[in-house]
Amino acid sequence: MERRGERARPLCEGARRRYQLVGAALLGYALLPLALGFFSLLGWEITSLLGGNAAPGDPSPAWQGAAGLLSALLSGALPFWWLRRQLGLAPIWRRTQMPAGSWRRFGGRCLVLLGLNTLATAAAEALAGLLRGWGLAPVSPDFSLTGGAPALFLLLTAVAAAPLVEEYAFRGVLLRALAPCGRRFAIVVSALLFALAHGNLLQGLPAFVIGLYLGYLADQTGTPLYTAALHLLNNAVALALPLLEGGWALLYLLVTAGSAAVAAVLYGGRLFCREAALPPNDPAIPREWRWPALLRSPAIWLALGYYLLNFILSTLP
């Protein structure tokens, strides 16, 4: 027991400070878009007045799209870049030697990810239907492609910026920041925070499920670049799905809903079943340094409170 305690001390040294910094980064991730939105609106007003328009009105769709893209990039990159620097973590995007065969398994893992996302989305829709029966109205952002500049900015944001920034933030920095207190703990917490950061039920439940899977893969490969590629494909498919006609959309749902089961059969536990089991926490690390210490952090509770408030507001009629 004494040896275990001696080993745990350096592994979890500064855990309380670590959680405080994580909570501060999460608050920055939540609040920075509000500040950027204010400056975007202010910039629109100023440029309109300088252009001779005494009544600027609402920003144009192109302006809103460009502001949304910039907000997606900065709000994720800056707080977690700061967190990485505070914790002294290695650069996230550096070249990493991945386990042999990682890219050969990429196609199968993509099928698993799409299948998990489809099943989780169906579960979220079912739960949302139940809530609507109770008089609530859960909603999610509208990602419809309407054409023109807004559609271009939406594509750049949802298919390029969001996967890169979210993988950098949650599987790159946050996962590594929490890993010294347990690998399984880090994967679960990063997936939970990833889900809460989406701010609504219809996105949050699928985000938690795929966050667990992407967290596992980031832990195994050692780089968020791999999971960013998977995330990009997942978002591209999700964005393209509403463009399909009724029959094709149903076909896609049937194929992707069965893809996880097909992958399980084809890989016989090597890919699906084995990867469903998260890596264990180091037994030398006392459990008190995980959930008990995390939930004693005021900064974590502030971030959780803000995210949960968004979840509640997104379900109100």
User: What would the pLDDT profile of 58-84 be if each residue is shown by its tens digit?
Assistant: 788 888 888 999 999 999 899 999 999
Residue, of 24 and 245, whose pLDDT is higher: 24
At 3 the pLDDT is 43
95 in a domain, yes or no? no
Confidence of residue 46 (pLDDT cuts 50, 70, 90): confident
Residue, of 160 and 11, whose pLDDT is higher: 160
Q: Is 157 buried (19+), middle (13-18) or exposed (0-12) by CB count in 10 A? A: buried
7 in a domain, yes or no? yes
pLDDT higher than 70, residue 162: yes
Tokens of 296: 């004693």
Task: Round to whole Å and give the CA distance between 154 and 102.
Answer: 30
Minimum mean pLDDT range among 58-72, 90-104, 243-257, 273-287:
243-257
User: What would the pLDDT profile of 279-315 be if each residue is shown by its tens digit?
Assistant: 777 777 788 888 888 998 999 999 999 999 999 999 9
Confidence of residue 240 (pLDDT cuts 50, 70, 90): confident
Share of the chain above pLDDT 90, in %: 41
Rounding to the nearest 10 degrees, give the CA dihedral for residues 168, 28, 279, 159: -40
Confidence of residue 4 (pLDDT cuts 50, 70, 90): very low
Residue, of 99 and 201, whose pLDDT is higher: 201
pLDDT higher than 90, residue 217: yes
DSSP string, the chain: -HHHHHHHHHHTTTHHHHHHHHHHHHHHHHHHHHHHHHHHHHHHHHHHHHTT-S---SPPHHHHHHHHHHHHHHHHHHHHHHHHHHHTPPPTTS---PPTTTTTTHHHHHHHHHHHHHHHHHHHHHHHHHHHHTT-----------SHHHHHHHHIIIIIIHHHHHIIIIIIIIHHHHGGG-HHHHHHHHHHHHHHHT-SHHHHHHHHHHHHHHHHHHHHHS-HHHHHHHHHHHHHHHHHGGGS-HHHHHHHHHHHHHHHHHHHHHHTTTTHHHHHSPPPPPTTS-GGGTHHHHTT-HHHHHHHHHHHHHHHHTT--
Considering its fold, how many domains does the chain have in total?
A: 1
Task: Round to whole Å and give the CA distance between 66 and 71.
Answer: 9
At 58 the pLDDT is 76
Confidence of residue 185 (pLDDT cuts 50, 70, 90): very high
97 in a domain, yes or no? no
At 219 the pLDDT is 92
Half-sphere exposure of 88 (CA within 13 A, CB side): 2
299 in a domain, yes or no? yes
**In terms of residue numbers, what domain contains 216?**
2-90+103-313
67 in a domain, yes or no? yes
98 in a domain, yes or no? no
152 in a domain, yes or no? yes
Q: What is the mean pLDDT of residues 184-200?
A: 94
Q: In angstroms, what CA-CA distances link 204 with 301, 309, 311? A: 18, 13, 9
Task: Round to whole Å and give the CA distance between 203 and 198.
Answer: 6
225 in a domain, yes or no? yes
Q: What is the mean pLDDT of residues 213-238?
A: 92
User: What would the pLDDT profile of 120-131 be if each residue is shown by its tens digit?
Assistant: 888 899 999 999
Q: What mean pLDDT is reported for the chain?
A: 83
Q: What is the mean pLDDT of residues 242-264?
A: 59
DSSP string, 11-62: HTTTHHHHHHHHHHHHHHHHHHHHHHHHHHHHHHHHHHHHTT-S---SPPHH
At 118 the pLDDT is 81
